[in-house]
């Protein structure tokens, strides 16, 4: 549990309510650590809070209105949406009118808490999966095969979905289109793997960590640029002169400006670290993308198929940690020792 900005997290015992009619109680097997978890933990101001939003586990109990899953089913958890607004009804849940409240409000839509006596804030992304059990809904669960390892599948619910979805759903990158990916962490590497699947090229990975750049090469980047040692602008010009697409995962104003300057007329850049949609000159656009515009129940099974076919080897990014070692896992993500840390809840005490 997080109890203060940047303070060591603790494992504590909380009482969780039985699922309401529209809820599912999931025994969490594993949960990925995402940059958003770290950002929320570092910012603090939450009081006692349970983070975690890349959970995977086994359904233990369902509310009376649940039809998609039953006890014993294996599920991956993703972001929450209301299912009732015009965007959700239109098949665009990432634009849900209540997205912020449902995912960052640390409470149910009606303002209540699933923890008995409101012992802590939860419902982060509709799950709070840094726990042995979590309450979710049909909107943010994806049923998966029992034959597949839940600890490997866990991080599909956010970072991997975001990176791959930005390529395939948001930008709709096509064969032989040029693409620069700024930042080769989990999201950036997922974007590079997806770009290779769709046949894009050249695919340029930009980062300041040599090991990440070497991994980007192995996973599909045709070129890599170490931004500490190389003039990124000059290198892009030598590779392809202009870009059809770019994706930023860094939030670096300098890198963003460089990529914008190299977009072809009509080109498009996706910003994944905050910001808003903008129109540039010559028909160029900047899009602020959330979750890769993915519908989890459709897109996560697609990513699993790519993985099983050997086209999306995201398991190469994962380093596993026991739940009790959550603070070490956070530190390893922060300092770059781990690309994607995944907590295993076995022997949690």
Give the tens place of pLDDT for each residue, 204-233. 999 999 999 999 999 999 999 999 999 999
* Over residues 173-182, mean pLDDT: 97
CATH of the domain at 319: 3.90.180.10
Is 187 within a domain? yes
Longest dimension (CA), the chain: 61
Burial 227-261 (b: 16+ CB within 10 A, else e): beeeebbebbeebbeebbbbbbbbebeebbebbbe
7 in a structural domain: no
The CATH number for 237's domain is 3.40.50.720
- How many angstroms separate the CA atoms of 18 and 298, rounded? 28
Same domain, 206 and 254: yes
- Neighbour-count burial for 119-154, b at 16+ CB within 10 Å, e otherwise: bbbbbbbbbbbbbbbbbbbbbbbbbbeeeeebbbbb
Please give the pLDDT value at position 64. Answer: 96
| Tokens found for residue 253 | 């104003």
Residue 227 included in any domain: yes
Distance, C-alpha 132 to centroid of its chain? 20
Q: How many domains does the chain have?
A: 2
pLDDT tens for each residue of 111-126: 899 987 777 889 999 9
Q: What is the pLDDT of residue 349?
A: 40
For the stretch 10-41, pLDDT in tens is: 898 999 999 999 999 999 999 999 999 999 99
Percent of the chain at pLDDT > 90 equals 87
For residues 27 and 142, membership in a common domain is answered with yes
Burial label, 313 (beta-carbon count in 10 A; 0-12, 13-18, 19+) = middle
Mean confidence (pLDDT) of the chain: 94
CA–chain centroid gap for 214, Å, is: 22
For residues 38 and 146, membership in a common domain is answered with: yes
């Amino acid at each position: 549990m997080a109890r203060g900005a940047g303070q060591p997290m603790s494992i504590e015992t909380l009482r969780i309510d039985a699922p309401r009619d529209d809820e599912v109680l999931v025994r969490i097997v594993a949960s990925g650590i995402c940059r958003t978890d770290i950002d929320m933990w570092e910012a603090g101001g939450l009081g006692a809070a349970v983070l975690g939003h890349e959970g995977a586990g086994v359904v233990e109990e369902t509310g009376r209105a649940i039809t998609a899953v039953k006890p014993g089913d294996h599920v991956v958890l993703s972001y929450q949406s209301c299912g009732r607004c015009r965007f959700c009804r239109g098949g665009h849940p990432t634009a849900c009118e209540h997205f912020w409240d449902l995912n960052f409000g640390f409470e149910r839509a009606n303002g209540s808490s699933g923890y008995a006596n409101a012992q802590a804030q939860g419902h982060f992304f509709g799950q709070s999966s840094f726990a042995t059990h979590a309450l979710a809904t049909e909107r943010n669960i994806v049923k998966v095969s029992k034959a597949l390892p839940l600890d490997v599948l866990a991080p599909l619910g956010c970072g991997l979905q975001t990176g791959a979805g930005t390529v395939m759903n948001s930008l709709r990158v096509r064969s032989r289109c040029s693409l620069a990916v700024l930042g080769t962490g989990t999201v950036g590497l997922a974007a590079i793997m997806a770009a290779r699947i769709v046949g894009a090229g050249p695919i340029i990975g930009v980062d300041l960590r040599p090991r990440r750049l070497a991994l980007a090469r192995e996973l599909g980047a045709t070129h890599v640029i170490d931004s500490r040692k190389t003039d990124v602008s000059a290198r892009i010009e030598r590779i392809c002169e202009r870009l059809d697409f770019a994706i930023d995962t860094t939030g670096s104003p300098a890198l963003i400006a460089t990529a914008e300057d190299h977009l072809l007329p009509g080109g498009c850049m996706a910003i994944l670290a905050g910001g808003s949609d903008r129109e540039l000159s010559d028909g160029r656009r900047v899009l602020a993308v959330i979750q890769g515009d993915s519908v989890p129940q459709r897109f996560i099974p697609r990513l699993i198929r790519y993985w099983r076919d050997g086209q999306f080897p995201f398991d190469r990014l994962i380093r596993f940690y026991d739940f009790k070692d959550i603070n070490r896992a956070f530190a390893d993500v922060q300092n770059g020792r781990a690309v994607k840390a995944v907590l295993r809840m076995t022997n949690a005490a």
